[in-house]
Amino acid sequence: MKLILLGAPGAGKGTVSKLLTALDGSVQISTGDILRGAVKDGTELGKKAQAFMKAGDLVPDDLIMGIMEERLQQPDCANGFLLDGFPRTIPQAEALEVLLDRLNIKLDAVVDLDVPREVLLDRLTTRRTCSNSDCQEIYNIKSKPPKVEGVCDKCGSPVIQRDDETEEAISKRLDTYNEKTAPLASFYEKQGKLMKVNSTSSDAVVAAIKQKLGM
């Protein structure tokens, strides 16, 4: 499947993507994960992106389009992909249309995960993430704690609170989402591609997507 997952930080894009990749071998492409990996590895991209990320601001569109242009041409995308956290602005969505046309790729749908702000805030402040940039497994201290406190079940690396998951940065990220990314829903609705899912359960979201795609 070839999907865009829209939804505020904490809406469950990452969790839903992981469930969907297990269905048909599509790959999850998370620009946030790619950027965090670059920051950790100290690459040029990471150095340019770091300050924006820490403040809860968006990284400039040209850096993001550079990442996506390269990523979408990698062979593992041939089985399908789930775009998690991209596009985030109307200019990114417009540039993606041009890129997909050029690569002769057609999207199946754009899924908008709609979750109330109180639920998002609660999820984000209790979220913890594996610090290993190749793993980045997500935990939640209330609903899905690691078996051993502070240690990733999958790879044994420390499980941490991301530095953009302080209350201040979270609030900024949600405001940035409402201002810059929420308008993408009507952008895709006008094209007849939008599927809005009102749900706080990732299993229900996956079931709705499977039904929509006839799987």
Smallest gap from Cβ 180 to ligand AMP, in A, equals 8
Task: Give yes or no: 117 in active site.
Answer: no
Q: Which two tokens stand for residue 90?
A: 């109307």
**Contact between 123 and ligand AMP per CB under 6 A:** no
Of 2, 46, 113, 164, the one binding ligand AMP (CB under 6 A) is 164
For residue 125, give Cα distances in angstroms to 5, 9, 62, 102, 166: 22, 11, 30, 40, 7
The enclosing H or E element of 61 equals helix 61-71
Of 7, 12, 80, 85, the one binding ligand AMP (CB under 6 A) is 85
Site for ligand AMP in 173-212 (CB under 6 A): 173
- Helices 61-71 + 31-41 axis angle, to 10: 100
**Contact between 9 and ligand AMP per CB under 6 A:** yes
For residue 154, give Cα distances in angstroms to 7, 102, 176, 211: 26, 38, 32, 31
**Contact between 31 and ligand AMP per CB under 6 A:** yes
Of 58, 65, 130, 170, the one binding ligand AMP (CB under 6 A) is 58
Q: Of 36, 123, 128, 173, which is the active-site residue?
A: 173
Q: Where are the alpha helices (DSSP H) in 72-179?
A: 90-103, 117-125, 167-176
Task: Give yes or no: 147 in active site.
Answer: no
**Contact between 12 and ligand AMP per CB under 6 A:** no
Q: Please tell me whether residue 56 adopts helix, strand or coil conformation.
A: coil
State the residue for tokens 């969790």.
15
Residue range at the interface with ligand AMP (CB under 6 A); choices 20-28, 39-47, 55-63, 190-198: 55-63
Task: Give yes or no: 36 in active site.
Answer: no
**Contact between 86 and ligand AMP per CB under 6 A:** yes
Are 206 and 20 in contact, with CB atoms under 8 Å apart?
yes
Catalytic residues: 13, 88, 127, 162, 173
Instruction: Give the footprint of ligand AMP on this chain (CB under 6 A).
Output: 9, 31-32, 35, 52-53, 56-59, 64, 85-86, 88, 92, 164, 173
